[in-house]
Amino acid sequence: MRRRWSFWRALAVSSVLAFAGCGPPPEAHVLRTADFRFVPAPNAIGSAELPQPPSGAERRSPVTLPHRWSAQLQGSAGTGWYRVALPQTDATGTPNAMFLPRVSSNAVVYLDGEWLGDGGSFGEAVARNWNRPLYFPIAPGRFAGTDRTHTVEVGVQGMGSLHDGLGPILFGPDRALRAYHVRALALQIGVAQVATLLSAVAALLFGALWAGLRREPVYGAFALAAACFCVNSLNYHVQTPPMSYWRFEWLVNVALEWFCACFVSLVLRLLALRRPRLERAAWLYAAGVSAVGLALPGPAFDRVAPWFHLVSMAIAASCLLAIVMHRDRLSRPELVAYVITGCVMLPVMAGDLATQIGVLPSTSLRLFPLVGAVMFVGFGAALMLRFLGTYRLAQQQNLELEARVAQKRAELEEDFRRLRVLERERAVGDERERITREMHDGLGGHLIATLALAEGNDERIAEALRDALDEMRVVIHSLDPWIDDVPGLLVATRARLEPRLASRGLRLRWAIGDLPPMRLGPSTSLQVLRVVQEAITNVLKHAAARTIQVRTATGHDGRRILVEIRDDGKGFDQNFASGYGLSNMRERARRLGGELEIEPGPTGTAVRLWLPTEPTDSV
């Protein structure tokens, strides 16, 4: 906080110093009295010739400088002649100079009747020097004569505008006045040129931004405001406009009204306020002033223009008030920029206006271009911040969008992959169904028909046929997409084998418990089916049992399940136990990622198949 204060204090002190340096050098004589004579020339414009001082006999009236014509000569164009006696100077051997800080609109200077210098064209269009200090060096030789008194005639060409007249005349050593002139030129003309340049750059920059971002009219409003300001700022430094004097005056005055209208639009958009009527009124006002300016003769418009400006200024002031009132709609840096700009701009505009209408002395420094430069830097920076913010937001949204697109694409790919898997499964399923149907209607039918023939004739053939049918059913059940878990396989096995168990008088004890969910592929199903089938078939063929129990259970760790086939027969057939059958079953269990346990005993045998609950379909 302290640092900020010290910054502002330093700024204030340095600006005071800068303006303090503006006073005339002490060595110079400030001449404030003159004999004045006005030569009206309402239609004189057009003659490129230098006006000549009138002959000495005519009547003159004494005036005090700075002298404004507007009081007596309202709207009259012509040449005002000021005769001034130079103070006696001893420094005739060194270069001297004359300096006219304020002349409107152009001046020619005669020293002792001899042309000393002029401010440019006196024809159409007359050089506009109202804000340009004129400086005329006097060579040492000019005072070489014996005469100690010297007279200067300053002919001021006025166009009948409000600020026609002459400021004080400075006379003194060239060295001091030259430096003073350079400084004054920089302050009055240089600053205005910088303002023109800055506003032109701002207009182009934001115009380009607007062209790219049509949906952000705030940049467009700013670009237009900058362009209007740019035109207005030409008033302060353009000496020879590329058009008639009054056309140019009209242009720069009107540009200020349009600038205010743009400013209203800009502020409304900055604050995201919708006041279409207010906006339209501002534009209509600018248009109306422009039309009035076209209708009125140049000098008349020049006289009323300050009052129009006053209205515009009030509008601009109310805009700044609106900014303060709706400050919550702006980011902090933006708000600071606007408020500072406004606080500097309004008093300066008021001061310039006061100078223009004669309330303040005509020699007062016109600060409006300087303030304009400040404003464009302030507003431009704030708008750039805004643009950067928008850009960053857009970039962030872009990234989010990209992420979402990537996610959607991944989802789509995943969907597509799933669809392909489903498609493939369906194709495989259809093929399996076709094969199953063929086996069902063809081979199956034949086997059953043959079984019917063999039954009662040759029980061994019948048995073999039943085995074949069983085998076929095992394969078909393993391929059945509807049978995809262990209970399903056991249910199918029961349906398949129960008639045969019943025909052998074997009692089936069914003890299938709740099992953790696990899905089995066809090849796993086939292995499980074969192990169970083989275990039961073995009981059927060899065990001479009365009861067979099929039981399931879940392991303690929940990671594997048990399928147990237990009988109450005389035990395993030795051939089977030691031979191919058992090792075959073990091998199948191993391939399933499980384990086969045999618990033989005199009162029955238990075959236990342990299976992992994690699906392994590597077989």
Partner 1 sequence: MSDATRHGVVLVEDDVRMRRRIASAVETEPRLMLRCAVGSLAEGRAALEREKPDVLLIDLGLPDGDGVDLIRAARHAWHDLRILVISVFGDERTVFRAVQAGADGYLLKDGSPEGIAGAIVELIDGGYPLSAPVARYLLRFVQSGVDAHTATDGPGAGQRVDEHPLTEREIEVLKLFARGFNTGEIADLLGLSPHTVIALGRNIHRKLDVRSRAEAVYEAVALGLIRMPE
Query: Would you tell me which residues interact with partner 1 (CB under 8 A)?
Result: 422, 426, 433, 436-437, 439-441, 444-445, 448-449, 451-453, 466, 469, 472-473, 476-477, 480-485, 487-488, 490-492, 494-496, 499, 502-503, 510, 512-514, 517-519
Nearest distance from C-beta of residue 449 to partner 1, angstroms: 4
- As a residue count, the chain comes to 619
Q: Which residue has the tokens 């006002």?
A: 285
Torsion angle of C-alpha atoms 55, 61, 65, 69, degrees rounded to 10: -90
Contact 404, 432 (CB under 8 A): no
DSSP string, 335-383: HHHHHHHHHHHHHHHHHHHHHHTTSS-TTS---HHHHHHHHHHHHHHHH
- 256 vs 476 by CB, closer to partner 1: 476
Residue whose C-alpha is closest to residue 559's, from 611, 522, 512: 611
**CB-wise, 409 or 426, nearer to partner 1?**
426
User: Rounded to the nearest whole angstrom, what is the least distance from the CB of residue 482 to partner 1 in the complex?
Assistant: 4
Q: Quick one: 470 or 595, whose CB is closer to partner 1?
A: 470
Q: One-letter amino acid identity for 438?
A: E
At its nearest, how many Å lie between partner 1 and the CB of residue 451? 6
Comparison of 256 and 609: residue with beta carbon closer to partner 1: 609
Least distance from partner 1 to the Cβ atom of residue 473, Å: 5
Q: For residues 65 and 465, which CB has a smaller minimum distance to partner 1 in the complex?
A: 465
Q: Which is nearer to partner 1, 228 or 479 (CB)?
A: 479
Stated as kind and residue range, the H or E segment containing 302 is helix 298-325
| Residue carrying the six token digits 């000021």 | 82
Report helix, strand and coil shares of the chain as percent, to nearest 5. 55, 15, 30
Q: Residue 68 class from Cβ within 10 Å (0-12 exposed, 13-18 middle, 19+ buried)? A: buried
Shortest spacing between CB 462 and partner 1, in angstroms: 10
| Residue among 205, 195, 206 nearest 229 (CA) | 195
Q: How far is the CB of 440 from partner 1 (least distance, A)?
A: 5
String of b and e for 471-487 (b: at least 16 CB within 10 Å)? ebbbbbbbbbeebebbe
Q: Shortest approach of partner 1 to residue 393 CB, angstroms? A: 38
Q: Which residues, at least 6 apart from 263, have a Cβ–Cβ distance to it below 8 Å? A: 225, 315, 316, 319
- What is the closest distance, in whole angstroms, from the C-beta atom of residue 414 to partner 1 in the complex? 13
User: By C-beta, is 314 or 427 nearer to partner 1?
Assistant: 427
Closer to partner 1 by Cβ: residue 191 or 475: 475
Q: Is the Cβ of residue 8 or residue 482 nearer to partner 1 in the bound state?
A: 482
Q: In angstroms, what is the minimal distance from the CB of 576 to partner 1?
A: 25
To partner 1, the closest distance from the beta carbon of 396 in angstroms equals 36
Report helix angle 445-454 to 459-479, nearest 10. 160
601 CB-side CA count, 13 A: 10
Question: What are the Cα distances from residue 23, in Å, to 17, 181, 185, 356?
Answer: 11, 11, 13, 21
Residue 439 region by backbone torsions, left for phi larger than 0, else alpha for psi between -120 and 50, else beta: alpha
CB of 548 to partner 1, least distance (A): 14
Judged by beta carbon, residue 112 or residue 485, the one nearer partner 1 is 485
Residues in a beta bridge with 137: 97
Residue 476 Cβ vs partner 1, minimum distance, rounded to whole Å:
5
Which CB sits closer to partner 1, 223 or 532?
532
Give the residue with the Cβ less far from partner 1, 224 or 609.
Answer: 609
Q: How far is the CB of 555 from partner 1 (least distance, A)?
A: 18
Closest approach, Cβ 610 to partner 1, in A, equals 19
H/E stretch holding 582 = helix 580-591
> For residues 50 and 451, which CB has a smaller minimum distance to partner 1 in the complex?
451
Q: In terms of Cα–Cα distance, which of 241, 246, 209, 206 is closest to 226?
A: 206
In 3D space, the residue among 89, 80, 139, 134 whose CA is nearest the CA of residue 111 turns out to be 139
Can you spell out the DSSP letters for 187-245? IIIIHHHHHHHHHHHHHHHHHHHHHH-TT-HHHHHHHHHHHHHHHHHHTTT-SS-SS-H
The residue (of 287 and 462) whose beta carbon lies closer to partner 1 is: 462
* Measured torsion, CA atoms of residues 416, 421, 423, 424, in degrees rounded to the nearest 10: 140
| CA 395 to each of CA 203, 330, 392: distance values in angstroms, whole numbers, following the listed order | 25, 21, 5
